[in-house]
């Protein structure tokens, strides 16, 4: 459940409409926020019975009361708290670009992103050896500390196809992590491994890093073309391919112009959405934001 109200404890919008929040809880949330000394864009956590309330306040202007957005998580949603927090922080700026009346009118659309229809998806990570596929999976879905995945602590190379099941907001995600060393077998016609990887895959994420692009740009494109051809034959008709140009933290100034062209080439010439990513702590938001956009893009209409 999600609510938006001002510091005067007046509810402006709520989702779902059928949810009735008590005046007592409104008062407790407001008092908790005011006594916390929280900064703007800081998310507070308030335990209410077996529920968890995530509280975010925004200052509208110098002459108006602040607004509070409260996201009330049920017990089975609490384990996904981090994903909810990241999603709020990544989307709140766009929401507050609307004026007051637009915000109230569009709040249901904003809130529905958190509680839409449950669905299941199969996601395939495929790409170059040591490009970061497993680290991306561990950062996003296993919630491992990115610092622990860097340097000497980086994961061992994946062998074959490894399958995982995760929950991500309202979706059940079946993930296939593939070995970069065995890429050719996954795009070879009639190969059993190819069928296991691509069959039923709703989302295919092609991962290469900035060094791959710098040193083997033609192979990056050729591999993607092979993935596109394989997907068209084996994967569901509505499946989609996305490209992650990973490890952007390794970019040096002389390389930037060349690397930035990759997005234009992939999107214009091959019609594949591309994004830059990294698991460096200061850039980890690039991964979470990209995954949110991908799942939103492939959500059932």
Query: Are 291 and 153 in a shared domain?
Result: yes
**Residues of the domain holding 44:** 2-112
Residues 97 and 151 in one domain: no
Closest to 177 measured CA to CA, from 134, 144, 239? 134
Q: Which CATH number belongs to the domain containing residue 39 in this structure?
A: 3.30.450
Total domains, the chain = 2
Overall size of the chain counted in residues: 301
Note down pLDDT in tens along the chain; length 301 residues: 665 555 555 677 777 766 667 777 788 888 888 888 777 678 889 888 778 888 887 765 544 557 888 888 877 778 778 878 887 887 788 888 888 788 877 777 777 766 655 577 888 999 888 777 888 888 877 777 766 666 554 445 555 577 777 766 666 778 887 776 778 888 887 678 888 888 889 999 999 988 888 888 899 999 999 999 999 989 988 899 999 998 888 877 666 777 778 888 899 999 999 988 888 888 888 888 888 888 777 765 4
Q: CA 184 to CA 169: how far, in whole Å?
A: 34
Q: Are residues 107 and 218 in the same domain?
A: no
- Among residues 112, 143, 169, the one where a domain terminates is 112
Please indicate, yes or no, whether residues 145 and 106 belong to a single structural domain of this protein.
no
Tell me, yes or no, whether 127 and 247 share the same domain.
yes
Q: Are residues 50 and 139 in the same domain?
A: no
pTM equals 0.62
Distance CA 241, CA 231 (A): 8
**What distance in Å separates the CA atoms of residue 30 and residue 226, rounded to the nearest whole number?**
55
**Boundary of a domain, candidates 95, 112, 129:** 112
Let me know whether 60 and 129 are in one domain: no
The residues, ordered by sequence, that sit 6+ positions from 152 with a Cβ below 8 Å of its Cβ are: none
Following DSSP, what letter does each residue of 162-194 receive, concatenated?
EEEEEEETTEEEEEEEE-GGGHHHHTSTT-HHH
Domain final position from 112, 133, 168: 112
């Amino acid at each position: 459940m999600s609510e938006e109200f001002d510091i005067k404890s007046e509810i402006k919008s709520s989702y779902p409409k059928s949810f009735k929040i008590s005046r007592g809880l409104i008062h407790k949330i407001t008092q908790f926020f005011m006594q916390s000394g929280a900064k703007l864009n800081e998310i507070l956590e308030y335990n209410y019975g077996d529920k968890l309330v995530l509280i975010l306040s925004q200052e509208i202007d110098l002459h108006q009361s602040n607004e509070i957005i409260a996201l009330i998580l049920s017990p089975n949603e609490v384990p996904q708290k981090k994903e909810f927090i990241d999603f709020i922080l990544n989307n709140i700026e766009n929401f507050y670009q609307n004026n007051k009346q637009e915000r109230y009118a569009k709040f249901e659309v904003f809130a529905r992103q958190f509680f839409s229809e449950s669905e299941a998806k199969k996601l395939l990570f495929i790409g170059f050896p040591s490009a970061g596929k497993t680290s991306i999976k561990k950062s996003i879905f296993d919630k491992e500390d990115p610092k622990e995945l860097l340097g000497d602590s980086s994961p061992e190379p994946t062998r074959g196809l490894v399958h995982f099941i995760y929950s991500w907001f309202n979706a059940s995600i079946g993930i296939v992590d593939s070995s970069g060393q065995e890429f050719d077998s996954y795009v070879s016609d009639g190969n059993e491994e190819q069928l296991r990887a691509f069959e039923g895959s709703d989302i295919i994420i092609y991962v290469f890093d900035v060094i791959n692009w710098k040193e083997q740009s033609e192979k990056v494109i050729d591999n993607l073309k092979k993935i596109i051809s394989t997907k068209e034959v084996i994967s569901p008709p509505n499946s989609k391919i996305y490209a992650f140009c990973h490890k952007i933290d390794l970019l040096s100034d002389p390389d930037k112009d060349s690397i930035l062209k990759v997005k234009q080439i992939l999107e214009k010439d091959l019609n594949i959405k591309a994004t830059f990513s990294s698991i460096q702590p200061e850039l980890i938001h690039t991964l979470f934001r990209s995954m949110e956009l991908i799942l939103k893009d492939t959500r059932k209409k």
